[in-house]
A and B are shown apart, each in its own frame.
Chain A
Amino acid sequence: MPLTPPAEPDLEPKMNWASFYAVISGVNRHSTGIGRIWLSVLFLFRLLVLVVAAESAWGDEKSGFTCNTEQPGCNSVCYDHFFPISHIRLWALQLILVSTPALLVAMHVAHRRHIDKKMLKISGRGSPKDLEQIKNQKFKITGALWWTYMISLFFRVFFEAAFMYIFYMIYPGYKMFRLVKCDSYPCPNTVDCFVSRPTEKTIFTVFMLAVSGVCILLNIAEGIFLVGRACSRHFRDAQDSPIGALFMQKLFSY
């Protein structure tokens, strides 16, 4: 009797929203206060609502889409005509693209830690305690990290706005209709097609659009906060220097 080899343990990391959540929440440490609020809004009001509620509302969107015809293929063609890309897939893409710029910041921090570790090892102080301290060190958002953070904020706002625009182009208006009229080939004439759960879908569409808007506002607020902090830091440093003090004196003498 041939011996079956033992089954290999499943070592592949699962590619799902949980692993995505684990990766993105790691960025939390290097964010500002507003950044953490944005991350919470993203996870609780967008990702969680998408996974536990919206996906089941759109679950039967294709099987529940019925047209008043017996013509084979008409159903399928009309569904494809009115729903080129499902709302759920569009929101999933939006969430992934909007969250990924935050990884730029994580990559920058990892790069700086790597440099610091190298410097420590070269200087001969590479004890495990010092290396551990570097691992847990929190960097201030200044200098090059500030620019990386601002670029990530810009891309976040850009992707949010781009997806809102794409949404508007594909589905002008937020309302989902019960009945759509379709005359694409091979439908013999203009047939009535009925959409499944249109009111529920309208409610969730409005909800997700509103939360996207809130996220855009949070990102803009974070950008303004970072710029304001950088300006105040710049003026404080300028006041400390003698040339700066002279400049400030002349400025306020007007």
Chain B
Amino acid sequence: MSWLTLYSQLTGVNKHSTSLGKVWLSVLLFFRIMILMLAAEKVWGDEKSEFSCNTLSPGCESVCYDHYFPISHIRLWCLQLIFVSTPALLVAMYVAYNKHGTKRVILRSGNENIEGDLKALKNKRLPITGQLWWIYFFSLLLRLLFEGGFMYALYTIYGSFYISRAVLCNVKPCENQANCYISRPTEKTIFTIFMVVSSSLCILLNLAELFYLIAKALIRSFQLSNRRQDCNHLASKFEETIPMEKQTSPKY
């Protein structure tokens, strides 16, 4: 049970996404999850053990660490990635539910080529219209909400994305102001900026996908209304010609 399990669930969602959604998924997997797993966790590995304060007061280091790092960057990013990935699974669940209904219909139909039909259904890609459009739209909104929320939380807790080499700590039981030194601050700053930039890129991709979905829906409804107008126009013309013929036909 690890990031690999989440990865395998998410790649299953890929089939029913738009092209922008597929790009978003790749950015999420390669620039965020993989970087977190392979690099960032090692950088933050000794954050507590190497956090040293210029004091001999017992407990001072522990308390100062807790004061300046209420939640570790790594844990915050883990939670962010889990929350941001989950709305995509809503779409997968809806598609599975939809396909299950269609499967039932196929099995009851008693066609000759049931196996072929079932296989075609399994590989079928549902168009993003109707109910699926709304669920996809809702999942995009949730993604944006979670990304924005976690970025705001990171900024609120740490003030800036820059991690200094030393902090001044005068929280009890430290006797007076003690200098506390953070382990690998530059490396942590680099990775923090990297993860923030990746998050921002994901937010931009989600926004672009949102606008794309709305534009596609508007164009589709515009085309439909145009076709309806054409049909109504043709129908009214047809009705006009019939009464005229009735008039010209001789009355018996």
Binding site for B on A (CB under 8 A): 16-18, 20-21, 33, 36-37, 40, 43-45, 47-49, 51-53, 56-57, 60, 64, 66-69, 178-179, 192-200, 203-204, 207
Q: Say which residue of B59, B72, B93 sits within 8 Å of A57 (CB atoms).
A: B72
Q: Is B135 an interface residue (CB 8 A)?
A: no
Q: Does B5 contact A (CB under 8 A)?
A: yes
Tell me whether B70 and A199 are in contact (CB under 8 A).
Answer: yes
If over half of B's interface residues share one DSSP class (helix, strand or loop), that class is named, otherwise mixed; here it is helix
B-side contacts of A45, CB under 8 Å: 82, 86
A203 close to B66 (CB less than 8 A): no
Contact of A194 among B62, B78, B82, B97 (CB under 8 A): B62
Interchain nearest-CB distance for A73 vs B (Å): 16
Extra pairs beyond A53-B74, A66-B59 (19, CB < 8 Å):
A21-B5, A33-B97, A43-B5, A48-B82, A57-B75, A66-B58, A66-B62, A68-B58, A68-B173, A178-B66, A179-B59, A194-B59, A195-B62, A196-B48, A196-B62, A196-B65, A197-B66, A199-B66, A200-B69
A197 and B65 within 8 A (CB) = yes
Q: Please name 19 pairs of A and B residues whose Cβ atoms are closer than 8 Å in the assembled complex, sorted by A.
A: A33-B97, A40-B93, A48-B1, A51-B1, A51-B2, A52-B3, A52-B78, A53-B78, A64-B62, A66-B62, A68-B58, A179-B59, A195-B62, A196-B62, A197-B65, A197-B72, A200-B70, A203-B70, A203-B71
Cβ of B6 and Cβ of A44 under 8 Å apart? yes
Residues on A with C-beta less than 8 A from B70 are 199-200, 203
User: Are A198 and B74 neighbours in the complex by a CB distance under 8 Å?
Assistant: no
Inside 8 A of B49's CB, which chain A residues have their CB? 60
Taking the nearest CB of chain A, how far is it from the CB of B131, in angstroms? Answer: 15
Q: Is B218's CB within 8 Å of the partner chain A?
A: no
Shortest Cβ distance from A45 into B: residue: B82
Contact: B63 with A194, CB < 8 Å? yes
B204 located at the interface, meaning its Cβ lies under 8 Å from any Cβ of chain A in the complex:
no
Chain A contact residues, majority secondary structure: helix
Question: Is there a chain A Cβ closer than 8 Å to B89's Cβ?
Answer: yes
* In the complex, per-residue mask of B65-97: 1 if CB is within 8 Å of any chain A CB, else 0: 110011110110011001000100100010001
Q: Hey, which bits of chain B sit against chain A, CB under 8 A? A: 1-3, 5-6, 48-49, 58-59, 62-63, 65-66, 69-72, 74-75, 78-79, 82, 86, 89, 93, 97, 173
| B2:A200 contact, CB within 8 angstroms | no
- Cα A72 to Cα B74 with chains together (Å): 34
Residue of B nearest to A18 (CB): B1
Contact partners of A56 in chain B: CB under 8 A: 74-75
- Cβ of A47: which chain B residues have Cβ within 8 Å of it? 1
Chain B residues within an 8 Å CB radius of A207: 79
A52 and B58 form a contact (CB under 8 A): no
Most buried by A among B3, B69, B82: B82
Chain A residues lying within 8 Å of B97, measured Cβ to Cβ, are 33
B-side contacts of A204, CB under 8 Å: 75
Alpha-carbon gap, A197 to B58, bound state (A): 15
- Please give me the 6 A-B residue pairs with the lowest Cβ-Cβ distance, nearest first: A194-B59, A17-B1, A199-B70, A68-B58, A53-B78, A194-B62
Contact of A200 among B63, B71, B89 (CB under 8 A): B71
- Give the chain A neighbours of B6 by CB distance below 8 A: 44, 48
Q: Across the interface, do B82 and A192 meet the contact criterion of CB distance under 8 Å?
A: no
Q: Are A20 and B62 in contact (CB under 8 A)?
A: no
- A64-B48, A66-B62, A194-B58 are contacts. A53–B79 as well, Cβ < 8 Å? yes
Assuming the A-B contacts A60-B49, A194-B58, are A178 and B63 also in contact, with contact meaning beta carbons closer than 8 angstroms in the complex? yes
The residue of chain B having its C-beta at the shortest distance from the C-beta of A50 within the complex is B1
A172 to B86, CA, bound (A): 32
Shortest Cβ distance from residue A57 to the other chain B in the assembled complex, whole angstroms: 6
Residues of B within 8 A of A198 (CB): 66
With A48-B6, A52-B2, A52-B3 already in contact, the answer to whether A192 and B79 are too (CB < 8 A) is: no
A33 to B66, CA, bound (A): 42
Compute how far the CA of A22 lies from the CA of B71 in the bound complex, rounded to whole angstroms: 31
Q: Which of A52, A193, A194 has the most CB of B within 10 A?
A: A52
Residue contact B1 to A53, C-beta cutoff 8 Å: no
- In the assembled complex, the Cα of A44 lies from the Cα of B85 at a distance in Å of 10
User: A107 to nearest B CB, angstroms?
Assistant: 23
The residue in chain A whose Cβ has the minimal distance to the Cβ of B45 is: A56
Partner of A60, one of B48, B58, B86: B48
